[in-house]
Amino acid sequence: MPSLGFIGLGSMGGPMARNLVSAGHGVTAFDVDPPAIEAVAEAGATAASSAGEAAAGADVVFLSLPGPANVEAVVDEIAADLREGSVLVDLTTSTPGTTNDVADRLADRGVDVLGAPVSGGASGARDATLSIIVGGDRAVFEACEPLFRDIGTDVFHVGEEPGHGHAVKLLNNYLSNVALIATSEAVILGDQAGLDRETLVDVFSVSSGRNSANQDKIPDHVLTGGYDMGFKLGLMEKDMRLLSEFAGDQGIPMLLGHLTRDITGYAKTKKGYDGDMTRVYDFLEELMVE
Ligand code: NAD
C-alpha cells in the first residue's frame, strides 16, 4: 500500500484523511490548527509537526487547503521534501492556472501532480461519497484511482492537464451557487405571498425547477434553522472570485457569473467568512423583505 501524507484537516480534509486511515493506509497528517491534527491522530493517523514532515517519504501527498494562495505557500514549504516519483494530489478548490504552475514546477523534481477537487460537502467527506473531479496524466490518475475510491463514489478523469479538474469544479460550484441564490429568492417571494415554504421546496424538488438547493440545501439546512452545510460563505465567495478570474483568463465575459460573485461577496460581508453558505438565504431575505 502506498504511504500517504495529508495536509489540511478541516471540514473536508479531516474526514477524508480519516477515511484513508479506515481503508488501511498509513497516513501522516498535518494542519496549522493542532486540534485538527489531534482529531485525525485519534483515528489512527500519525501526527506530523510540519507540512514538510507530512510530505517527506510519502508516495502520495494530499492537500485540502482553503484556496490557491495556501496551496502555493504549502508547495513552497514542502517542495524539497517531496520524494522523486511521488504524486501530489490537490483536493483544494483552486484555480486551473495555480494547479498547472505547481505541476510545471514540481515536474523538475520528478513529482507528478493531479488536480482533484471534490464535491459533496462535509457529509460526503464523512460518508466517503464525494465526487472527485480529476485532471492530469491518465496513467497517474489510474494509479491513484483506488485512493480516490476510498474517499468518494463518483470519480471522473476530466482532462490531461492538472488544472482541468479545477476548471470543472469552479463551473460546478457556480451552478450550485446560482441554484441556491435563485431558489432562495423564489422561496422568499412565495413565503411573502402566503405560501408554505416546505410545500414550495417539495414541489420544486420533483418538478422542472429542481436543483441541489431545493432538494437538499434549503429543506435540510435553511428551513430546519440549522444552517449546517459545513461549507463556509468565505470559501464560496472565494470560489466565485476564482470563477470570475478563470473567465477573465479565458477572455470570456460573464453576466450572471460576476453578479453571483458579488451577491456572495456581500453575503460574506454581512454574515461573516465562517457563516454557513446557506446564510445567503437570510442575507437575501433581509434585502427583499421589509
Ligand atoms: P476548512 O477551512 O474547514 O479547512 C481548511 C484547513 O486548512 C483548516 O483546518 C486550516 O487550518 C488548514 N490550513 C490552512 N493553511 C494551512 C497550511 N499552510 N498548512 C496546513 N494546514 C493549513 O475548509 P474545508 O471546508 O475543509 O475546505 C477545504 C477545501 O475544500 C476548500 O478549497 C473548499 O473550497 C473545498 N471544498 C469544501 C467543501 C465543503 O463543503 N466544506 C466542499 C467541496 C470543496
pLDDT tens digits for the chain (290 residues)?
889 999 999 999 999 999 999 999 999 999 999 999 999 999 999 999 999 999 998 999 999 999 999 999 999 999 999 999 999 999 999 999 999 999 999 999 999 999 999 999 999 999 999 999 999 999 999 999 999 999 999 999 999 999 999 999 999 999 999 999 999 999 999 999 999 999 999 999 999 999 999 999 999 999 999 999 999 999 999 999 999 999 999 999 999 999 999 999 999 999 999 999 999 999 999 999 99
Ligand 1 atom 40: the closest Cα is on which residue?
121
The tally of domains found in the chain comes to 2
Beta strand 46-47 pairing with 60-63: unpaired
Q: Do residues 133 and 199 both lie within one domain?
A: no
With H, G, I as helix, E, B as strand and everything else as coil, classify residue 189.
helix
**Whole-angstrom Cα distance, residue 246 to residue 243?**
5
Grid-cell match 470560489, residue found = 239
**Whole-angstrom Cα distance, residue 173 to residue 231?**
12
Beta strand 112-115 pairing with 118-119: unpaired
Q: Which domain holds residue 70?
A: 4-161
Q: Do residues 240 and 145 both lie within one domain?
A: no
Q: Do residues 68 and 197 both lie within one domain?
A: no
Task: State how far Cα 94 lies from the chain centre.
Answer: 8
Q: Do residues 174 and 152 both lie within one domain?
A: no
- Ligand 1 proximal residues by C-beta, below 6 Å: 7-13, 30-33, 36, 51, 64-67, 70, 73-74, 92-93, 118-119, 121-122, 230-231, 235, 239
What is the distance between the terminal CA atoms of the chain, rounded to a whole angstrom? 60
Q: Do residues 85 and 156 both lie within one domain?
A: yes
Q: What is the CA(34)–ligand 1 centre distance, in A? A: 14
Closest atom of ligand 1 to CA, residue 239: 34
Grid coordinates of 195: 405560501
Which domain CATH number covers 246? 1.10.1040.10
How many Cβ atoms sit within 10 Å of the Cβ of residue 130?
26
Which of 94, 128, 161 is the last residue before a domain boundary? 161
| Angle at CA of residue 182, ends 178 and 186, nearest 5° | 165
Q: What is the CA(8)–ligand 1 centre distance, in A? A: 6
Q: Do residues 42 and 185 both lie within one domain?
A: no
Which of 142, 161, 180 is the last residue before a domain boundary? 161
Closest atom of ligand 1 to CA, residue 74: 18
Q: Do residues 143 and 184 both lie within one domain?
A: no
Q: What is the CA(65)–ligand 1 centre distance, in A? A: 4
Nearest to 155 by CA among 144, 143, 145: 145
Q: Do residues 48 and 179 both lie within one domain?
A: no
- At how many degrees (to 10) do helices 164-192 and 233-250 cross? 120
Which of 128, 161, 194 is the last residue before a domain boundary? 161
**Whole-angstrom Cα distance, residue 264 to residue 271?**
10
Closest atom of ligand 1 to CA, residue 229: 40
Q: Do residues 149 and 9 both lie within one domain?
A: yes
Contact 87, 144 (CB under 8 A): yes
**Whole-angstrom Cα distance, residue 82 to residue 179?**
40
Grid-cell match 431558489, residue found = 183
What is the reported pLDDT for 202? 98
Grid coordinates of 12: 473536508
Q: Do residues 155 and 103 both lie within one domain?
A: yes
Which domain CATH number covers 145? 3.40.50.720
Total-model pTM: 0.96
Where do runs of H (alpha helix) occur along 206-251? 212, 233-250
Ligand 1 atom 16: the closest Cα is on which residue?
32
Q: Do residues 90 and 147 both lie within one domain?
A: yes
Active site residue 270: no
Q: Do residues 42 and 156 both lie within one domain?
A: yes
**Whole-angstrom Cα distance, residue 54 to residue 82?**
10
